[in-house]
Chains A and B, each alone.
Chain A
Amino acid sequence: MQRNITYLILLPGLLLGLFAGHAHAQLSNKVTFGGAGRFLLDQGRIDGELLETDTTTARRELNGLALFDFGVTIRPNEDTEIKSVMRVENDIDGFWGAGITFQLRELTARGVAGKVVRYAIGDIDAALTPYTLWNPSSEFRLMRNPAFDVFRDIVDYENFYADSTWRQQGLEAEWKLDFDRGIESLTFHGLVSKNRNTDYFTLPDRLLAFGRVQAVINPAFSLQLQAINLFEIAESAQFNDEERAHRAGSILASTGTSCSSMDWRLDVETGLSSVRYANLAEAPDEPTEDFFVDGTARLQWPQRNLQASLSYRDVGPDYRAPGAQSRRLDPAASAAAFSFYTNRETQRPVSIADVVRDRTLYNRTIAPELGAFNPSWENAQPYGQATPNRRGVHAAVNWTGDSARRMEWRGEAAFLTEIRGEGTEALRRFLTVEAAGIVHLGRYAGWEKALDLHAGLRNQQTTRSGTEGIDEVSLGSLQAELGLQWEIYPRLDLLGGMLFLQSEGNEYLADRDGFNRIVFYDAYTADLRENWISAGLRYRFSDNMVLSAQYFYLDRLNNLDPTTAYTLQQAVVLYNLFF
């Protein structure tokens, strides 16, 4: 028996070894390795007025982890690729290996079938357009900031955020037809993935499926049609007959051209959504339907490194596209550091420091419900461009600097209004202005080493001139960010950073039921100031491998409850590697 078990263990290892040996011996270019590694040590201390009355919260915390993602990509032939990523993680609390976890983080097979159809099975990153399937960026991403970016990159990596895609698990296929006359080409693209697993009794499977057809009429004009459906299969749960289906579809027309002095482009996208329920007693009797339209004109002057755009958007109040409206950040989640405070052990509200650093606050899945948001962080478009009940204009300018690339600036402004009032005839108006840039001071001084100053400012105002007095809304939010990167020795950087939030005013937050209908409002009042500063050193072994030691200081004051004011000091040592 013992011998049989030994064989069982050794045989797969032997086969794997033979395969690996074969791969290295004859197909060395067919096996590649990649992944990520991280070691984090985080010493935190909470202090401030809160601690004068709070006798239960621990004053200090020491956390940390070591993890390694080991990725192997195998190409058994020129048309097939198999990629897997294994994760080994050990929390610092897990002494002598007690806290080690192993996880298969990614497994994908992709290739080209019959030299015609490109396919992928397993973990797939998918996106369509900002109104159908899109992973909109989260709050506090005003600019790249050398003091905070490694943490933002970790959040993105941990949650599979890449280029506005959602990580899905399923099957994807794409093929293209070229034509000699009439139109130039047709590209078909489809995906089916599992969004939620059944419990086999009362909770049914939920699937996501989309199809896209892209027609290139001529080099100056293309059309793209897409339809997406997030739907349940009632029969997958034995004691369930309820079903929900969220469908959305759009057509995108793009035209434009390039010339030596100026490029222009006009994109118009419009589409419909429909939400249907079956056998749900409290669901709306009629399907919830609405539409959107987005027209964007873009101009580019390549020789001047200047780009500008102007958009008009109209997203209906009942437009529902879960693939584009699911939020990354959950403001109601429990922060990993100092999760609870006060003698009543209430959940500590998420701060700007948590938003930047805490990967556990983020959501990885598409959900049919409109998620909670913090209006002090983002009130105009909490669900990205597809935020329902918004109409208005958006303008943007982006300048990537003179020929020496000594500075880069960008600016955006958006003026949006509601289309339909919430609880009143009066409509909210949203004005958002933001600007961010980098000044490469080292280049001005003619230094070989970098000395970069980053700065950004964002101001958002929400107003509603009430018709009944009680429905007046006035909420302001100011975000500012500064960053400094100074290479004081080859590959050794001095880092500095600041993130600031101030919010003041009142709002009404809508409580929605499971069908996204507003059922109540919570009065929201803000008089908040948060300031987070950082200083430290970073050594870059390479562009993808850094060792940093940073000190962070958060000062949080909620004037509506000054007894909960606190400061949070954190010293962080981080070794991070992407390869």
Chain B
Amino acid sequence: MKHNKYYVGIRGSLFLLFVALGLGSCRELTPEGPELQDIFGEFSILRPLTQDRTSVDFSAGETVEFIAELSVRTDWTLTIRSIETGARKILTGNEKLIMGDVARWNGSVTFAPLFSAGEHVVASLQFAAFPDSTMLSDTILITGSRPLPTGGILVSDFENPDQVFETFSEFSFEETSNGVEALFPAAIGDKYWYMFGRDNNGSVFVCGVRITATSAQGTSVFEFPTENEDKVWFNMFVFGPGVENTLLVIDFQEDDNLNGTYVPSQEGTYNYQIPVDWSGWRIISFPYSATALSTNGGLGNVDANGKREVNRILSLQFILLSAGGQNETFVGFGLDHALFTINGPFEP
């Protein structure tokens, strides 16, 4: 009788085992994911760069689709440049077959000025791993420009003379310029914020400007229709003067205890760093989730709540750093049209 109990158990267990093993033969065993050969194989161009139209009216909702085909997947950059103004739109990807949405241009810009009707553009397709394989498209005429997107939560377009900006710098003798300017054309509108200077004491920091939610929105913290940090995007045009070692740090100061003030030693600052290594106006966009807690001791590196909270941003700081430290050369950048968008980046 006792042995019967064991046999029931053994038979039951082995029955389960063999049924499950039998199921194993029913599996689909086609390799998973893209083929390695398609990524790490030999590179060649199977179909040169073309586009689906030679003129486009973005104001009517038309788009341009570029098409090319490669033998392997590799990082590519499609640059669409205005022959008249130098405005550029940059698309990137790593597809083998470049077409469809990944290679579709809706008239938006990456490097200002904005594209306008009557301009001619040419696209070039480049590959980071194969710099000698650049391809060019035919010329495309823009017959209607893309309307400027509406909506978003404006931090500042630097056009309002009544908006309050708090500027700060380390030493007055660092020869800084830090204010609203119109020295050269703005990305959008007439004016922009311009920061320029030199690090004379080796501290890296040059100068900064702070914009509070009160001055931007009239509220104690920025208010968004979502608390999802992946869905709240910050966007801004940044002008690069083309000098080395220019670093822009954007600080988001959180009012962790919601008492209406920000205490750097107790409340968190989340920041995003951008080496400004380009010339001209460029749109930059990132979700709030891409920011990281400040590493500066006593300046926002302690978050009382221990987490990033998009609904507690009390103010933004834009800081100019000289990445190389004390230097004879000046560093600087311009800022224009800073705004938050929901669900995706700002695409002017």
Contacts and interface: CB of A to CB of B under 8 A. Distances in A.
Given A101-B304, A220-B5, A203 B16 contact: no
Interface stretch (B138-146, B179-187, B220-228): B220-228
A80 B10 CA distance: 41
Contact of A423 (B35, B227, B295, B298): B35
A470 B37 contact: yes
A201 B343 CA distance: 11
B23 to A, nearest CB: 6
Q: Which 10 A-B pairs have the closest CB atoms?
A: A255-B9, A518-B33, A221-B9, A293-B20, A270-B20, A423-B36, A201-B226, A421-B31, A199-B227, A268-B13
A253 B20 contact: no
Interface in B221-278: 225-228, 231, 265-266, 273
A220 B302 contact: no
A492 to B, nearest CB: 36
Contacts of B225: 201
A420 B29 contact: yes
B24 interface: yes
Nearest to A103: B306
B46 interface: no
A293 B6 contact: no
Given A422-B32, A470-B37, A517-B33, A316 B27 contact: yes
A520 interface: yes
A217 interface: yes
Contact of A419 (B20, B27, B292): B27
Interface string A401-417: 00000000000000000
A8 interface: no
A475 to B, nearest CB: 15
Contacts of B36: 423-424, 468, 470-471, 508, 521
Nearest to A292: B20
Contacts of B35: 423-424
Contact of A518 (B5, B14, B34, B94): B34
Interface residues of A, number: 60
B67 interface: no
Interface in B1-45: 2, 5-6, 8-10, 12-14, 16-17, 19-21, 23-24, 27-37, 39-41
B109 to A, nearest CB: 27
A242 interface: no
B348 interface: no
A257 B10 CA distance: 11
A201 B325 contact: no
Given A220-B5, A267-B13, A520-B94, 8 more contacts: A55-B325, A255-B8, A316-B27, A420-B30, A421-B32, A423-B34, A468-B36, A520-B34
B295 A98 contact: no
Interface string A146-186: 00000000000000000000000000000000000000000
A251 interface: yes
Contacts, number: 156
A424 to B, nearest CB: 5
A267 to B, nearest CB: 7
Nearest to B273: A345
Nearest to B231: A202
A255 B295 contact: no
Given A200-B227, A421-B31, A517-B33, A291 B302 contact: no
Interface of A: 55, 91, 93-94, 98-99, 101, 199-203, 217-221, 223, 251, 253-257, 266-268, 270, 290-293, 295, 314, 316-317, 334, 339-340, 345, 389, 391, 419-425, 468, 470-471, 508, 510, 517-521, 523
Contacts of A523: 40
B295 A339 contact: yes
B191 interface: no
Nearest to A197: B227
Contact of B302 (A91, A202, A290, A468): A91
A93 B14 contact: no
A153 B337 CA distance: 51
* Most chain A beta-carbon contacts within 10 A, residue among B21, B32, B227: B32
A464 to B, nearest CB: 10
B81 interface: no
B31 A424 contact: yes
B89 interface: no
Contacts of A420: 27-32
B9 A266 contact: yes
